[in-house]
Amino acid sequence: MNDTPIPARLRVLLEAERARADAPDDAKEAARAKLAARLGPGAGLDGADPHDGGGTDDGAGSATPAAPAAPSNGALAQAPSGLAMKLASALLVGGLVGGGVVATVAKPAERIVYVTAPSTPASTAAAESASGAPRPTASATGAAESAPGTTVPNLPVTALPDVTPARPPAQAAAASAPVAASADGGRDTDLSAERALVERARSALARGDAAGALAAVERHEREFSRGQLVEEREVLAVQALAASGRAQEAAERGARFRKAYPTSLLLPLVDAALR
Amino acid sequence: MDPPSFRFLFETEFSYVWNTLRRLGVPERDVLDQAQEVFVVVHGLLPDYDASRPVRPWLFAIAYRVACRYRSLSRNKHELPSEDVPEEIDPAPLGDEKIEADEARALMLEAIEAIDLPRRGVFILAELEEQPVPEVAKALQIPLNTAYSRLRLAREDFEKAATRLLARRRTAKRAADPDRSERQVQR
């Protein structure tokens, strides 16, 4: 900007600030680990460290470069199902067991819990069809419907090192409900059941199935009227209504959302849906 | 044009987000958490990102909202360097003073903090990052004229604050090192 009227004697400050160093590497790695846990495999951060030659099989190997190409759940959902299945199972199994050591049983379990978001129909299909590997809550049908023996609460909270510290109390208020509640071991069952429904709505939406999304939203409303993911569900409700052409209802629900969550970080999603 | 992948953005722009949060007044100890919040929102909004636009103003707008929300939580409010203690400003030129880069950055953050909030984002994007004002207006979703007038006012805020801070620093330096100023006087 050549026309800057900032006086030369003050520009030294601007220059110094522009030369601010990069974020510390350890902070970046910490953020990567926590985000991978929070956002699930769709984010492409999981086991995707290019310097971590941890891939043990072809599946993980091919998943790693492919994952970044999937910016949204939608992209994965549109992939040819064979590839998507391979990808999804690689992400869920190969990618997670990446270290290749069976002794890390708690580790994949931990990941899968917080990755409950296989957020794509493909990965759900993979989760349901894959044989052998235990799959606690990966199925979009969720803990509410899965066999009791495979539900989350059996996991000691200590098996979730990545997640708990992600939520220091100071941040709980600023954070979206899901992980905040994970620090509270007693509510994990409800939370994962809730999360499964929300994820079902999300993946339905991602494949263009607005009716399916609305069905999941409505079920969440019935079963978790005071749940921890109400804010997320409401966003999905607006998106699903908008996607099914019910503009008026979408706008009304969006307005209610704005009123209920005036500082929501998800507001831009609502706005985008209503545009 | 396809939007960049989430991972690509994380790899390439983490530092940008980090530094932006610092500039927006998030203290060091909370930057990591807030940077995560930014990327969670980025993840949600990425499908809507218009890849024909530069990515940083877009990221900035998200970081801006996250930082505002962070600061609106009462526990995160901290005393801002207040303007209501008008200090005597020594109008002597500051140009020949040497200032360490770290100290300059600390002063810069303090000066940014003194810029009125709605203007602050415009200032950081346009002045510090040298983004074209129309791009800034788009990213922050404000009319172009508003962006220009905020920038003008922000520059005034900044100049006033930076001048005050530099003067304060000089006063403190003199107090800490009376010999030197005496020598200067004798000379």
pLDDT band at residue A202 using 50, 70 and 90 as cut-offs: confident
Q: What is the pLDDT of residue A173?
A: 41
Alpha carbon of B43: minimum distance to chain A alpha carbons (Å): 7
Alpha carbon of B178: minimum distance to chain A alpha carbons (Å): 24
Paired tokens of A263: 């500082």
pLDDT band at residue B18 using 50, 70 and 90 as cut-offs: very high
Choose the mutation target among A29, A35, A263 for the interface with B, i.e. most B CBs under 10 Å.
A35
Cα–Cα distances (Å) from A153 to A24, A114, A124, A156, in that order, read: 35, 12, 21, 7
Q: CA-CA distance, A138 to A142, in Å (whole number)?
A: 7
Whether residues B10 and A71 touch (CB distance < 8 A) is answered with no
Paired tokens of A237: 């409700």
Note whether A239 and A273 are within 8 A (CB).
yes
Cα–Cα distances (Å) from A79 to A84, A93, A130, in that order, read: 6, 19, 18
Whether residues A43 and B95 touch (CB distance < 8 A) is answered with no
Q: What is the pLDDT of residues B143-165, one digit of tens each?
A: 999 999 999 999 999 999 999 99
Q: What is the mean pLDDT of residues B93-116?
A: 80
Helix (H, G, I), strand (E, B) or coil at B66: helix
Q: What is the mean pLDDT of residues A47-56?
A: 41
Largest CA distance in chain B: 68
Percentage, residues of chain A above pLDDT 70: 47
Alpha carbon of B85: minimum distance to chain A alpha carbons (Å): 21
Instruction: Supply the ipTM of this predicted assembly.
Output: 0.80
| DSSP string covering A76-126 | HHHS-HHHHHHHHHIIIIIHHHTT--GGGTHHHHHHHHHT----SHHHHHH
The answer on pLDDT for B170 being more than 80 is yes
The residue that leads in pLDDT, B16 or B183, is: B16
Q: What is the pLDDT of residue B134?
A: 95
**Number of residues that this document lists for chain A:** 275
Domains delineated in chain B: 6-76 (1.10.1740.10), 101-186 (1.10.10.10)
Q: What is the pLDDT of residue B85?
A: 45
Largest CA distance in chain A: 70
Q: What is the mean pLDDT of residues A128-145?
A: 38
The residue that leads in pLDDT, A169 or B128, is: B128
Q: What is the pLDDT of residue A1?
A: 45
Question: Which range has the top average pLDDT, A24-28, A34-38, A183-187, A189-193?
Answer: A24-28
Q: CA-CA distance, B25 to B27, in Å (whole number)?
A: 6
Q: What is the pLDDT of residue A37?
A: 82
User: Residue B177 contacts by C-beta under 8 Å, 6 or more apart in sequence?
Assistant: none
Q: CA-CA distance, A247 to A154, in Å (whole number)?
A: 43
